[in-house]
């Protein structure tokens, strides 16, 4: 239910990190590979828990460490953007100024 609020915030941070990296394509391949490896490992651990007849609540708890990691990614990524200079009122190309000179 909260995925609609959570995923856009997380993916914006991931895409911003990709743009800031040396090679966005390699970054995206590595990120996708890490995501898939984590999913595979989580599924294997969950299957082992179910085979051992452990409670399903333990399977759900597997996600808790990743929530902390994703929260750190969002905080660091958006923290970088807070320190960026405010360029909201800047019009760099002369044709965008409409004949108005900037000081």
Residue 50 has a CB neighbour count (10 Å cut-off) of 13
Confidence of residue 36 (pLDDT cuts 50, 70, 90): very high
pTM above 0.75, yes or no: no
Q: What is the pLDDT at residue 46?
A: 92
| DSSP assignment string, 25-70 | HHHHHHHHHHHHHHHHHHHHHHHHHHHTT--HHHHHHTTHHHHHHH
Digit-coded pLDDT (tens) for 44-65: 999 999 999 999 898 888 888 8
2-25 per-position pLDDT tens digit: 667 778 888 888 888 888 888 888
Assess whether pLDDT exceeds 50 at residue 87.
no
The two three-digit tokens of residue 9, written as one number: 């915030």
- Per the model's pLDDT, the better-predicted residue between 33 and 85 turns out to be 33
pLDDT value of position 62: 85
Write the CB contacts of 63 (distance below 8 Å, at least 6 apart in sequence). Answer: 42
């Amino acid at each position: 239910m909260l995925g609609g609020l959570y995923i856009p915030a997380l993916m914006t941070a991931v895409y911003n990190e990709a743009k800031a990296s040396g090679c966005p394509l390699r970054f995206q391949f590595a990120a996708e590979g890490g995501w898939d490896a984590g999913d595979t490992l989580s599924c294997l651990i969950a299957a082992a828990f179910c085979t051992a007849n452990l409670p399903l609540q333990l399977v759900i708890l597997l996600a808790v460490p990743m929530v902390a990691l994703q929260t750190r990614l969002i905080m660091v990524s958006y923290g970088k953007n807070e320190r960026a200079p405010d360029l909201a009122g800047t019009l760099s190309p002369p044709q965008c100024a409409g004949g108005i000179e900037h000081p």
